[in-house]
Structure 1
Amino acid sequence: MSQDRSASPLILGGAPTPRAALPQLPPLALYIHIPWCVRKCPYCDFNSHAASPTLPEEEYVDALLADLDLELHAVHGRELSSIFFGGGTPSLFSAQALGRLLQGVEQRIAFASDIEITLEANPGTFEQEKFTAYRALGINRLSIGIQSFQEQKLKALGRIHNGDEAIRAAGMARQAGFDNFNLDLMHGLPDQSLDDALGDLRQAIAMKPTHLSWYQLTLEPNTVFWNQPPVLPEDDTLWDIQEAGQALLAEHGYAQYEVSAYAQPGRAARHNLNYWSFGDFIGIGAGAHGKLSHPDGRILRTWKTRLPKDYLNPAKPFKAGEKSLGNDELPFEFLMNALRLTDGVDAALFAQRTGLDLASLAEGRRQAEQSGLLQVEPSRLAATARGQLFLNDLLQYFLI
């Protein structure tokens, strides 16, 4: 565990700027990690593990609730605005197991009246009866991992479903009662042409999801693709795909509100918006991360034991580590999230979520504005179109 540096001053021109107590706590969300997949995909760097024929559902739900119990002291009196089941493939779990888990969560923390509850699912795990039961539990949003509709691309990505199953999944989601669902789609796939990428995107749009996550394949360390890299499209092709795809999405009423997120009006993912606006979230499950603010100004990041066997071992703690964010880290931490949003955030949110004066960003803002990466708009913190493309360069201006 790192040393608590929450009281350290931020030096601005030689003058320390103390952190104030937070005027109000941000919205609170819950992330639940279910780490098993049918098969590990070669591009995936998430904490996911190939499932055995029988999953330890009962034991894992018990562990999740015990993990949550240890977090309750820090969120007393607060309510959940959203819940997100991520993975792995959470839809491998039965409706009975998820129902017991949701019931246990609600017994411990109040749900907002309009709570958003999202479940990640893959087309290969879609079963009509099972998904109807999920909807009856109060799960009201699905995120379906399509990635591509083309057989050759799906095989290259190691996916277990085919294009027909992907198309049927959206219809089955609607029949199960889900009127709000996301499709995950990749571009920049091995040997992908502009026509290939736009064909995938047109097929996804034809399925009329309320939300599309459309993002470029990247090669991440500790993956099969990192060690055995496939042939990816040239930079010029990637740029053509990005431009043409964004225009196609806009034409069909999907507004880009984040680097890789597009939604119909009023259908932005509230859980993810909370992340990007530096809201709070409890993380439970193997390898889950959390971030919690305290009224005195302390902001803690936590992470849980990564391997499922260790997480399920009663002799080992759930929490693997905890870090209190220092004043010198907060500008970067806040902006790393907020500047992903296409419209940025109200500048006043910086002080509300960090306890630091907005003036602490003045020099970084000046330099970023001069570079053309940050919009010159005193009341907002927002990247320019160029800044969205070069977000890492933009964030360098706010490293202390």
Structure 2
Amino acid sequence: MNPLLELDPAKVPLSLYIHVPWCVKKCPYCDFNSHALPNANQGADDGMLTAPFAQYVDALIADAKSQQSFVQGRVIGSVFIGGGTPSLLPVAEFRRLFAALRDIYEFSDDCEITLEANPGTVEHAPFAEYLQIGINRLSIGVQTFDKQALKVLGRIHDPMQAVNAITQAKKAGFLRVNVDLMHGLPNQTAQLAVKDLQMAIDAGATHISWYQLTIEPNTAFYRTPPDLPNDETLDAIEDDGRALLKSHGFDNYEVSAWAGSQDAPCRHNLNYWQFGDYLAIGAGAHGKVTLRHHADFADGIYRFYKSRLPKDYLNFSPSSAPKMVSFEPIDEESLPFEFMMNALRLRHGATTQMFEERTGLLVSSIDNELLPLQHEGFMVHDATLLSPTEMGFRYVNHLVRQFL
């Protein structure tokens, strides 16, 4: 397999991911890099939970500066602030962080900036202040509106707090509000799953991320598995939920993502799925960059990640940045799989031009994998697209495995 041409970073969009690792408590299903807040006032009457937020923002700023050379002349087209529970970070620290980031990087005029928020930690007052900072999209981690299911999932909010968070965000001026919902919950019926979707829509969600609960290693649910719905119920949930979302004008543009008629697909996530580049700052943050004529690295496509534990991430000096644990090139043989495992999650896939510009490989290099899938009806026959058919979109894991 030979590279088609020299990689040109200018043809690869660039995003920025920011990780805030703390949450009030760890949920039993969560395998993300999240850590329960330390109790900084043990023995105090208020027992306030807190974290070294100011020190952490200092580390984020130093981290961002250390990645300036990865920009390669580009602007930041989207930002995603994930966690953990990023809405725990005080608004004043967000203001300080973004003032610094705009000095370090150039942001596009229409840059999409998303903040993940938890209904149990976000106050309604900061919504307007988030907008002033430049945060223009919210992703609210509701998971379910069912009171009993929330308890089983270990969530700290109740159904009314979830509804209020969505409605108050809209009232504050947010035009784009995503709601995260899970289905296939313990003892969940199709009726309950559809009720969750309807409540999110009625509250004003413009985008819904709707994904099935999976039991991951290193979680409390893995050690003590809950009683999950059987396959027949899961199929009914999927069918009834999809029908409801479509009836309300939501477009299933990615396997688990639905954009409402008044919203657009999440630009940041599209950049992931279309094999774009993204800088990454924060404890455990993962990034991907395309480099050419870099002073320290050979031309190529690299993945990297930062120190995972907050205490390690914060252990840096003024003359350095938080530790880069790994910075490795993606080998040439892995590039087709890396590209396709992302692109095939999209209903309309990606263009062959994207494949060639973002991997440096001729699309003909994957003919042996592509042609059988086209003949079997899993991918469209089109010289300009790498796109699943309707059947392929329902069996995306089958498609992706062909490129391993």
Normalising by structure 1, report the TM-score: 0.93
| Aligned-residue CA RMSD (Å) | 1.4
Cα deviation per residue 1:229-262 (whole Å; 9 max; x = unaligned)? Answer: 1000001110111111111101101101000000
Match of 1:41 in 2: 27
Match of 1:4 in 2: none
Residue type matched to 1:380 in 2? L
Q: CA deviation at 1:212?
A: 0.5
SS at match of 1:343: coil
Residue type matched to 2:31 in 1? D
Match of 1:310 in 2: 312
SS at match of 1:106: helix
How far apart in 1 are the matches of 2:3 and 2:231? Answer: 45
Q: CA deviation at 1:70?
A: 1.1
SS at match of 2:120: helix
How far apart in 1 are the matches of 2:315 and 2:342? Answer: 34
Alignment match of 1:277 (pick from 271, 274, 279): 274
Match of 2:242 in 1: 246
Contact 1:290-1:301 at 8 Å conserved across structures: yes
Contact 2:140-2:180 at 8 Å conserved across structures: yes
Match of 2:6 in 1: 21
Q: CA deviation at 1:78?
A: 1.5
Residue type matched to 1:283 in 2? A
How far apart in 1 are the matches of 2:376 and 2:328? Answer: 33
Q: CA deviation at 1:68?
A: 1.1
Map 1:74-223 onto structure 2 (within 5 A): 74-223=70-219
Contact 2:209-2:256 at 8 Å conserved across structures: yes
Cα deviation per residue 1:307-359 (whole Å; 9 max; x = unaligned)? Answer: 00000012695211011011101000000110000111122210011111110
How far apart in 2 are the matches of 1:86 and 1:183? Answer: 14
Residue type matched to 1:35 in 2? P
Residue type matched to 1:28 in 2? L
Q: CA deviation at 1:19?
A: 4.4
SS at match of 1:30: strand
How far apart in 1 are the matches of 2:3 and 2:22? Answer: 44
SS at match of 1:125: coil
Q: CA deviation at 1:25?
A: 2.9
How far apart in 2 are the matches of 1:229 and 1:19? Answer: 48
Map 1:219-234 onto structure 2 (within 5 A): 219-234=215-230
Residue type matched to 2:11 in 1? L
SS at match of 1:190: coil
**Aligned CA distance change for structure 1 residues 317 and 64 (closer, same or farther; 3 Å):** closer
SS at match of 1:115: strand
How far apart in 1 are the matches of 2:332 and 2:18? Answer: 29
| 1:264 equivalenced with 2:238 (yes/no) | no
SS at match of 2:333: coil
Contact 2:170-2:204 at 8 Å conserved across structures: no
Contact 2:63-2:322 at 8 Å conserved across structures: no
Deviates more, 1:22-31 or 1:203-212: 22-31
Contact 1:184-1:214 at 8 Å conserved across structures: yes
How far apart in 2 are the matches of 1:217 and 1:223? Answer: 12
Residue type matched to 2:34 in 1? S
Alignment match of 2:286 (pick from 286, 289, 296): 289
Tell me the matched-pair count.
384
Normalising by structure 2, report the TM-score: 0.92
How far apart in 2 are the matches of 1:247 and 1:120? Answer: 27
How far apart in 2 are the matches of 1:221 and 1:377? Answer: 40
Q: CA deviation at 1:367?
A: 2.1
| Structure 1, unaligned runs of 5 or more | 1-9, 11-16
How far apart in 2 are the matches of 1:34 and 1:170? Answer: 21
SS at match of 2:11: coil
Match of 2:68 in 1: 72
Match of 2:44 in 1: none
Residue type matched to 1:67 in 2? D
How far apart in 1 are the matches of 2:123 and 2:23? Answer: 16
How far apart in 2 are the matches of 1:42 and 1:123? Answer: 18
Residue type matched to 1:38 in 2? V
Match of 2:46 in 1: none
Residue type matched to 2:51 in 1? L
SS at match of 1:128: coil
How far apart in 2 are the matches of 1:386 and 1:87? Answer: 34
Contact 1:45-1:221 at 8 Å conserved across structures: yes
Contact 1:25-1:293 at 8 Å conserved across structures: no
Residue type matched to 2:28 in 1? P
Q: CA deviation at 1:396?
A: 2.1
| 1:391 equivalenced with 2:396 (yes/no) | yes
Contact 2:255-2:346 at 8 Å conserved across structures: yes
How far apart in 1 are the matches of 2:292 and 2:388? Answer: 30
How far apart in 1 are the matches of 2:134 and 2:361? Answer: 38
* Percent of aligned pairs sharing the same letter: 49
Contact 1:44-1:223 at 8 Å conserved across structures: yes
Q: CA deviation at 1:128?
A: 1.9
How far apart in 1 are the matches of 2:322 and 2:53? Answer: 19
Residue type matched to 1:286 in 2? A
SS at match of 1:124: coil
Residue type matched to 1:312 in 2? L
Cα deviation per residue 1:31-86 (whole Å; 9 max; x = unaligned)? Answer: 00000001100000000000122221110000011111111112142211011100
Match of 1:7 in 2: none
Deviates more, 1:363-372 or 1:229-238: 363-372
